[in-house]
Structure 1
Amino acid sequence: MGLFNKLALCCALLMQGAVLASEYIDVLDLPAKPSGLAERSPLLDLARAGSRLVAVGQRGHILYSDDEGRRWQQARVPVSSDLTAVTFPTPEQGWAVGGDGVVLHSQDGGASWQKQLDGRQIGGLVSAFYAAKAGAEPDNEQWAALVEEGQRLVEEGADKPLLDVWFEDDRVGYVVGVFNLILRTQDGGLHWTPMLDRTENPDGLHLNAIAPAGDALYLVGEQGLLRKWEPQTQRFVSLPSPYDGSFFGLIGRSDEVIVYGLRGHAYRSTDGGQQWVRLASPLPISISAAMEGADGQFRLFTQAGHMLLQRGNEPLTLAPLAEPLPVAGAALTADGTLALVGSRGVRTLGVK
């Protein structure tokens, strides 16, 4: 290629780059694009909103079904960030979280969503909150360290993935994420309070999930992190952990809690998390989702699409599925079939 042609090519590339730069829109400001293929796109969580099913996933896709998963509609979503989790404490009020620290709120059962918070705000929120505490207690080194953490979040920008969300009701809720990021709201998401100082997590491990079991509230995360909310001290305190690998989720009720995660590891406790019994799995495959069946039996799902049944402290039992595909979220439909979401979208399956 001659010098003139090289120069012409360079100019063309520079002009193309300038055009692309001028057209760039942050995913936090770019509404999710309607797509006829949204049902087949990767979906990462599934929740019930009364009689409605709501699924969330990549590129801001949120789908909802009013006929137990047979047909799906795409919701109106103001962002294109990947969404990781969704919860509905009431049939109308719901929250979803995901990449870039985004928190979305719906008031109509998941048909439309509004942004309440994002990663561009979280760093400043954390820094200002702990700066006020540092001003009141200048000799407390913890506050200074958390002010620095907030400043670091500001400098790093919006990339602060939130990994889970849970609401007690339509007012009180929590979002959790990477590096011990945890916030609480007591007014339905209008204001958020950092809780980094109320979680025993000095190494800043990722918080993968938050969920209740009966009246108790638990956190699980990487490197075997297990925490439980202690009302007396208003802190998430450490529990003895039976495993040093990552936990991805938990499910339970007043008399038991089950935590599950990497390489098929699952454990059951009947004393509030003080002692754990290993639930041996027939497959060394990570467990990514769980649900309670109509019979009260817990069902766990692997990343490869297997379903495992839990009965007390017995080993997990493999239950055949009509079409095993990767599972990230599960729910039971009114007619007893399974609604599942994962890397290949959403589907309903009968149980053999």
Structure 2
Amino acid sequence: MKFLNPDFGFAVGNGRVARTTDGGDTWEIVHEDHTYIQFYSVSFFDDLNGFVVGSRGEILRTNDGGLSWTRLTQSSIPPAALRIDDVYFLDNLNGIAAGEGEGGGVIYRTSDGGINWSLEDVGATPIFRRIGFFDENTGVAVGRYGIIRRTNNRGETWANPQLNQATSQLFDVHIVDDAFGCAVGETNIVITTDAGLTWQKQDYTGSWLFGVHFLNREKGFAVGNGGRVYGTVDGGATWDHVATIEPPRILRRVTFADSLNGVVVGDLGTVGRTTDGGLTWSGVELPEPYENSLFAVSFINSTTGYAGGLGGIILKTTDKGATWVRKNSKTHQSILGMHFLSETQGAMTGTFGQLLRTESLNTPVFHTNKSTVTFDDVQIGTMEQRNVIIYNLGNALLSIESIFATDTNFSVSHNSAAIFPGDSISLIIEFSPSKTGLYESDVIFEHNSISSPDTVKIIADAITSVAGEKNNLPTEFKLYQNYPNPFNPSTSIKFDIPHYAMVEISVYTILGQKIAVLLNKELAAGYHSVVWDASRLSSGIYFFHLKADNQTFVKKAILLK
């Protein structure tokens, strides 16, 4: 479940997406799929941007605030996903999803707002159940058989922690701050105090635990079988049985609206509550008896919260859990998890799901494929180029009013640009060093997206000559074979100029049609290179020409997509 504000929210279930505009009092189905897909988790990273993950790695997307939803292309769907249990977004571009694949646990990563997902190498692992992050770089995924995997680079790579004393299944993990976290499961509690590097098993011999929540580093609660609530006041070192919610059924989740008011939910409509910070707990009588088990609970602010569970049941409280009212979700599929980062940021999991994405209404999103560009060992008197792809990941026109380099030894191919939603352009950065040494510069982008201004860092090294080469200038014009070749989508073309000359480098199709001019300017004698970005062209054979001093040199390039 995800609420963008106290009135406007979404719930997911068996191939369905439901929307409310009145705080959950009424719900309407805005998307329905009949392919038996299960929903497991949805995460939003701003007022309207979010994702849902589920079985088969399906991905759906909305660009109108959730009024309509469409399936993304098959190329962006995570491969081999049977179900996705959890999703976590670090920002509007970078997200992690985890769950079950054909061979065990799988983790996927996106760096473009969920348009494309890559399957990360986590080795042969059991199924993952939950994800948590300590900061924007460091996080963990936990799951079956006590599996824990840790990343320190925003999910690019995952490894075993240095120490993991978990010995059985882990069902939940709660991260308290940038170093402290707790995971619980089958007679299992493990604690980390070093951002997931080591996990120490705690002194606990009670029942199975399915949910955990810490108010701070010292004080936390865990819930599980038999309606039992366990508490710790020493950072998880010891745990006491502090209450049993009657009747004694399995408790699935625990959360707190503030430091005093907490709620637990569980099987057969069980709801419990504390108003004194967990010192005492009591059952909450619902307005009507429910046989539906409750698997999820979350608060969007200090008073308003939601619980969800079997058969798509949704309960709402506006008084910190004292009373609950059933809401019509218009779905019969189970809701497995809820999490709200704020009143406008949250997540929901459920059965039979896909990965869904909703984008900000009328908002452009600036993104580049590189944050840093490097030039190595460029000779004085020569010129080299690098390309950067600029994307608009939003659903409104991205207007870039200004593009410039802060050092005059660098130049850019565009001073401004307009990029339509879902489109991109190639920016060429050219380096012509005037003296030897290390250069550092920035390319500044000023635009109408919320992240403006954005920068791409440039690091370059200029030398007098390349080791092993003669110090004298080239003695003839020469065009080298592009590298790489075949290529996709860009390649580098090097060429030599023996004296000051007007130089043109153009690209032709196999039928002789000129389709691009990569360079048309006067160059000094030296060793040069240009970059050809062919991202907008189809696969095939192309020819690039070097023209100078009434001479023409030709090489063949193969674009293979």
* TM-score, length-scaled by structure 1: 0.62
More helix by share: 1
Matched positions, count: 264
The answer to whether residue 72 in structure 2 is matched with residue 116 in structure 1 is yes
Question: Secondary structure at 2:31's aligned position in 1?
Answer: coil
The answer to whether residue 193 in structure 2 is matched with residue 247 in structure 1 is no
Other-structure match for 2:15 = 60
Alignment of 1:148-187 (within 5 A): 153=80, 160-178=82-100, 179-187=104-112
Identify which of 34, 42, 62 aligns with 1:86: 42
CA distance in structure 1 between the aligned counterparts of 2:152 and 2:316, rounded to whole angstroms = 39
Q: What code does the residue aligned with 1:91 have? A: D
The answer to whether residue 131 in structure 2 is matched with residue 210 in structure 1 is yes
| Cα shift at 1:101 | 1.7
| Cα shift at 1:278 | 2.3
| Cα shift at 1:226 | 0.7
CA distance in structure 2 between the aligned counterparts of 1:84 and 1:232, rounded to whole angstroms = 22
The answer to whether residue 270 in structure 2 is matched with residue 347 in structure 1 is no
CA distance in structure 2 between the aligned counterparts of 1:254 and 1:221, rounded to whole angstroms = 21
More strand by share: 2
| Cα shift at 1:248 | 2.2
CA distance in structure 1 between the aligned counterparts of 2:135 and 2:283, rounded to whole angstroms = 29
| Cα shift at 1:339 | 1.6
Question: Secondary structure at 1:238's aligned position in 2?
Answer: coil
| Cα shift at 1:205 | 1.8
Question: Secondary structure at 2:164's aligned position in 1?
Answer: coil
Q: What code does the residue aligned with 1:176 have? A: A
Contact persistence 1:184–1:192 (CA under 8 A)? yes
Gaps of 5+ in 2: 244-280, 287-291, 324-561
Q: Deviations over 1:105-124 (max 9, x none)?
A: 3445555433236699544x
Q: Deviations over 1:87-116 (max 9, x none)?
A: 111120110011222223344555543323
Larger radius of gyration: 2
Q: What code does the residue aligned with 1:256 have? A: F
Q: What code does the residue aligned with 1:330 have? A: V
CA distance in structure 2 between the aligned counterparts of 1:303 and 1:102, rounded to whole angstroms = 33
Q: What code does the residue aligned with 2:4 have? A: A
The answer to whether residue 286 in structure 2 is matched with residue 320 in structure 1 is no
After superposing the two structures, state which structure 1 stretch, 87-96 or 99-108, moved more: 99-108
* TM-score, length-scaled by structure 2: 0.41
Contact persistence 2:76–2:116 (CA under 8 A)? no
Question: Secondary structure at 1:223's aligned position in 2?
Answer: helix
Other-structure match for 1:260 = 184
Identify which of 288, 293, 303 aligns with 1:336: 303
Contact persistence 1:302–1:326 (CA under 8 A)? no
Contact persistence 1:330–1:339 (CA under 8 A)? yes
Contact persistence 2:184–2:190 (CA under 8 A)? yes
After superposing the two structures, state which structure 1 stretch, 315-324 or 297-306, moved more: 297-306
Cα distance change of structure 1 residues 224 and 320 upon mapping to structure 2, 3 Å threshold: same
Cα distance change of structure 1 residues 297 and 98 upon mapping to structure 2, 3 Å threshold: farther
Indicate the percent of aligned positions where both proteins have the same amino acid. Answer: 18
Identify which of 101, 126, 148 aligns with 2:57: 101
Q: What code does the residue aligned with 2:314 have? A: V
Alignment of 1:163-312 (within 5 A): 163-178=85-100, 179-195=104-120, 197=121, 199=122, 201=123, 203-215=124-136, 216-231=138-153, 234-239=156-161, 240-252=163-175, 253-263=177-187, 265-273=188-196, 274-278=198-202, 280=204, 284-287=207-210, 289-290=211-212, 300-302=222-224, 311=233, 312=235
CA distance in structure 2 between the aligned counterparts of 1:322 and 1:302, rounded to whole angstroms = 17
CA distance in structure 2 between the aligned counterparts of 1:251 and 1:62, rounded to whole angstroms = 27
Gaps of 5+ in 1: 1-45, 124-152, 154-158
